[in-house]
Structure 1
């Protein structure tokens, strides 16, 4: 068994996040940011992962599969895992009813099956959001794991169902489900760090990569069999200078003894 596990994950949203989450279907400039991820960012990341011989996990909306089939097929043929990220990039909490969310999940499954020939085993919700129906729908569609929540930092754990959070009474955890959570963190996601915002300006990008390295190093020193999940988006991470910084981060992490780079699916199987 490895001392530490690293899961490099890619949310291949294409233009779907701009259309379905941000409501900017009429913004050619923002849509072009998604197209950069499809045409330039994703190939650069695939080349980098190939250089390091790393298998990664790509969470792909069905909208991306149907809009850019050749780009997504290149991910699959390069040997990377493709898992569920909705059909549309719609935050689950914004669906008007259970039937709408169910239909979107079903359509996303069908899109992945049409590309890969197999059903996805894992799910990552758009914007890491759940509705009151999401967990029961994941169970109904026989998903085995999720990677959207943040109940621990470096250890998988079972998602809980039947929890209660009344404003005038104590919180109740509920009971463990069969769905394994492989936790994420906003602190290890490139979008909030690097996505340009006129109000915020630019981040100190090398400092963010230093933070990601220090988080791995803390886990390596202090957590037995820890799982480190890094979340990236081709339209964000695929810029030339960030690919170089990511290359350096991967090289640094790989120098540590007994570190394994693997897929989220492989992690869930070991829980």
Structure 2
């Protein structure tokens, strides 16, 4: 049995995040950042994963599948798992009603089925956002797990329904559902760390990678059968200097003989 499991995950947003989340459909420069991820970043990540012989999980909006089918097919053909990330990269909390969110989820399922021949078992919400309707919609469409929330650090848990958060009364956790949550963290996501921000400027990239490694090492020492989820975006991680650092991070993790690289679906279904 492995001491720890590592899930390398990729949000293959393409241009959809700029169109649907950031309202940048008329910005050729920002759209080109997404195109870099499709044309350059994704192939580079696939080469790195192939070099290490690891299977990874790619959360792909249907918009990316429909816009760049050959690029997404390369991910699937290389043996990586493809799971749901909306059709559009629209934050669930911004939908006007449940029907609009349902239509987007259903359309995303159809795009994945057209590529892979099977329905997705897992979901990651755009921008890690849920609406009041998201959980019930995931149950309606028979999803088995989610990877968008942050109620634990390195352990899967069950999502809850019927919770209440009134401002003038105690918080009510609600009751557990059958949906497994494989938690994420903004602390292990390349987009907030590295995406250029005019107000912040550039991040200290060496420090970020060192933090990711120290988080893994803490988990390895302190959490039996811990699950470490790293979230990457081809348009962010796909630059040469970052790939070198990512390669070193993967090598450091793989140096532990009892660490297993696996998919989020495997974690969710095997416990």
Query: The residue matched to 1:131 in structure 2 has which SS?
Result: coil
**1:247 offset after TM fit, Å?**
0.3
Separation (CA, whole Å) in 1 of partners of 2:213 and 2:230: 11
**1:221 offset after TM fit, Å?**
0.3
Query: The residue matched to 2:221 in structure 1 has which SS?
Result: helix
Q: Which residue of 1 aligns with 2:109?
A: 109
Separation (CA, whole Å) in 2 of partners of 1:257 and 1:116: 32
Question: Mind listing any 5+ residue stretches in structure 1 that lack a counterpart?
Answer: none
- Does 2:80 correspond to 1:80? yes
Query: The residue matched to 2:47 in structure 1 has which SS?
Result: helix
Q: Which residue of 1 aligns with 2:22?
A: 22
Q: Which residue of 1 aligns with 2:218?
A: 218
**1:256 offset after TM fit, Å?**
1.1
Query: The residue matched to 2:214 in structure 1 has which SS?
Result: helix
- Any idea what the Cα deviations from partners look like across 1:121-148, whole Å, max 9, x if unmatched? 0000000000000000000000000000
Equivalences for residues 1-271 of structure 1 within 5 A? 1-271=1-271
Separation (CA, whole Å) in 1 of partners of 2:51 and 2:135: 37
- Any idea what the Cα deviations from partners look like across 1:20-45, whole Å, max 9, x if unmatched? 00000000000000000000000000
**1:257 offset after TM fit, Å?**
2.5
Separation (CA, whole Å) in 2 of partners of 1:4 and 1:257: 10
Query: The residue matched to 1:107 in structure 2 has which SS?
Result: helix
Separation (CA, whole Å) in 2 of partners of 1:54 and 1:208: 22
**1:270 offset after TM fit, Å?**
1.2
Query: Runs of 4+ in structure 1 displaced over 2 angstroms?
Result: none
**1:53 offset after TM fit, Å?**
0.2
Query: The residue matched to 2:58 in structure 1 has which SS?
Result: strand
What number of residue pairs does the alignment pair up? 271
Normalization by structure 1: what TM-score? 1.00
- Any idea what the Cα deviations from partners look like across 1:49-88, whole Å, max 9, x if unmatched? 0000000000000000000000000000000000000000
